[in-house]
A and B are shown apart, each in its own frame.
Chain A
Amino acid sequence: MANRIDDEMIEYVGILAKLSLSDEEKEKAKKDMEEMLDYIDTLNELDTEGVEPMSHTFPVYNVFREDVVTNGDEREKMQANAPKVKNGGFVVPRTVE
């Protein structure tokens, strides 16, 4: 089964991933993705009926922290790498109309 990735799909994935690709990059991405998906489709040769999907390999359960405040005011540190800060807030382009 050959996978086809059309322009619309590349555009859509770009919106999801917040990546804008040049036309050249888009063509390459389409080809890459089609190839990878064809390859990934080999998984369909395996019968996985009734197999439980495994996200964690080991049976580790119930890892919790106590509800105790351990952190103080570390704003300076948290903003040390910020591209732009004002009045203690991270600055971003206007979000509301």
Chain B
Amino acid sequence: MDLMSLTALELGRKIKAKEVSVLEAARAALDAVKSREETLHAFVTVDEEGALAQAEQIQKKIDAGELSGPLAGVPVAVKDVMCTEGLRTTCSSKMLENFVPVYTAEAVINLQKAGAVVIGKTNMDEFAMGSTTETSAFGATKNPYDAGRVPGGSSGGSAAAVAGREVPYALGSDTGDSIRQPSAYCGVTGLKPTYGTVSRYGLIAYASSLDQIGPMTRDVSDCAAVLEAIASYDPKDSTSVKREDYDFTSALTDDAAGTRIGIPRDYMGEGLDPEVKAAIYAAAKELERKGAVVEEFDLGLVKYAIPAYYVIACAEASSNLARFDGVKYGYRAEEFEGLHDMYKKTRSQGFGPEVKRRIMLGSFVLSSGYYDAYYVKALKVKALIKRAFDEAFKRYDCILGPVAPATAPELGKSLRDPLKMYLSDIYTISVNLAGLPGISLPCGMDKAGLPIGMQLIGDAFQEKKIIRTAYAYECSRGAFPAPKMI
């Protein structure tokens, strides 16, 4: 039996039933990583020693009855943007190639409390900037469904590790599309929670007002269970929200009856691949068949989300990434003359082209004389976008649409034209601007055998609605086929 082909909850149940030991599970993950990394390159760092040590500890706790949760003993991979004490955290950047954090991100602590065994850190676009995982300083990750294609990004390593059966589940982070789009490209289920639901403490910031950590899993049940484990109110994160409902798994009922679903007409028009479009409509029909009330509507403002996003995200990034200056941690240029030369050489050598591109743009839009025209304007557009969603959620429980305009592109094609790459975020990015939850789950394959993802967007704090709807769809769909490489 390939333990890594089980879902997290399935494996958790076997561990609980003592059919599988935690050590066996961890070894299975490490073996899978060993055999598949050559093809996939999903990991930046694999922590074999640490994983085995954790496994022993957790087994003891399970045996002592101190740990009984559904994820106890299950291996996990963590995107290399979350700090892990004593375990190198690079953001896939030369800048942090040797950075070993002295504390652990709150979301990871929450997972560890639930008994997770951290196998390693997954590859990503450098500092989460990109949509293909090709901007990583340590080489691109490959799509398990076609190693000639990208896994998406920025959480491409996490998506590939889950789809490639290296681990049952992983954590990702999503600023514009970074959980949902790679999930769609790799045929896995990924959820970006409502802003403030998962603590950002220890998440190395790209754009603070948009970043959220979320689960990337094989199915909706795992997704709900992992979200339940990582979500918490954290006094260390001022933007953390104290929620009433953390019992996300209670929404796992196969029931779409009466659910009001809106499909934005503006998502389904020009630029959308016909195969993707057909898959989304087929999913909608299935939900309708199960009693959902589905209709098309005009969301509006769709084309303004991307420009507003790039202004806000790049501005915040230019400030967030200014701390990488060669003084306290991370890369420092070897030769320089004086302070400012040290700064410039360190940063120019330590950051890759996409990161520099966004820092330059962000510095420009905040600079004297341009702030109002660009930054304030973008914040106003953000307000309008939020308003458009507020209107929509007066009428619908969920918004259904595609995740990306097409399936995974070939390696090496996207970065040549950044603007075009940015445009592929058109269905996901407004969700971050409005702070809303969104789930991406597979809803078919194209002719080339590549997964197609659908997205369900919920109103703020309505994760349960999208989880329930996604679960209902998934029950009809059945298990999504594994990549052929497995």
Contact = CB atoms under 8 A, between A and B. Distances in A.
Contacts of A13: 360, 363-364, 367
A43 B102 contact: no
Contacts of A12: 367
Interface string B311-343: 100000010001001111110100010111111
A29 B360 contact: yes
A72 to B, nearest CB: 13
B309 to A, nearest CB: 10
A78 interface: yes
A79 B361 CA distance: 32
Contacts of A18: 322, 325, 340, 343-344, 347
A74 B85 CA distance: 14
Interface string B179-219: 00000000000000001100000000000010000000000
Contact of A43 (B195, B304, B326, B419): B304
B210 to A, nearest CB: 9
A74 to B, nearest CB: 8
Contact of B384 (A39, A51, A63): A51
A46 B435 CA distance: 21
Interface string B335-362: 0101111111101100101001101111
Contacts of A58: 195-196, 241, 435, 460
A48 B307 contact: no
A76 to B, nearest CB: 9
Contact of B327 (A43, A57, A65, A92): A92
Nearest to A26: B360
A77 B102 contact: yes
Given A13-B360, A42-B303, A54-B383, A90 B196 contact: no
Interface in A57-96: 57-58, 60, 63, 65, 74, 77-84, 90, 92-95
A16 B432 CA distance: 27
B379 A19 contact: no
A55 B364 contact: no
Q: Is the interface of B mostly helix, strand, loop or mixed?
A: helix
Contact of B339 (A41, A53, A81, A93): A93
A19 B303 contact: no
Contacts of B433: 57
Interface of B: 98-100, 102, 195-196, 209, 235, 238-239, 241, 301, 303-304, 306-308, 310-311, 318, 322, 325-330, 332, 336, 338-345, 347-348, 351, 353, 356-357, 359-365, 367, 374, 376-384, 386, 418-419, 433-435, 460
Interface in A5-34: 9-10, 12-14, 16-21, 25, 29, 32-33
Nearest to A80: B102
Q: Determine which residue in A19, A42, A52, A90 has the highest number of CB atoms from chain B within 10 A of its CB, and name it.
A: A19
Nearest to A63: B238
A2 interface: no
A92 B342 contact: yes
Given A33-B364, A40-B310, A43-B378, A57 B326 contact: no
A14 B386 CA distance: 34
B329 A46 contact: no
B342 A93 contact: yes
B377 A43 contact: yes
A94 B359 CA distance: 26
Given A17-B322, A17-B356, A63-B239, 5 more contacts: A16-B367, A36-B419, A42-B307, A82-B329, A84-B332
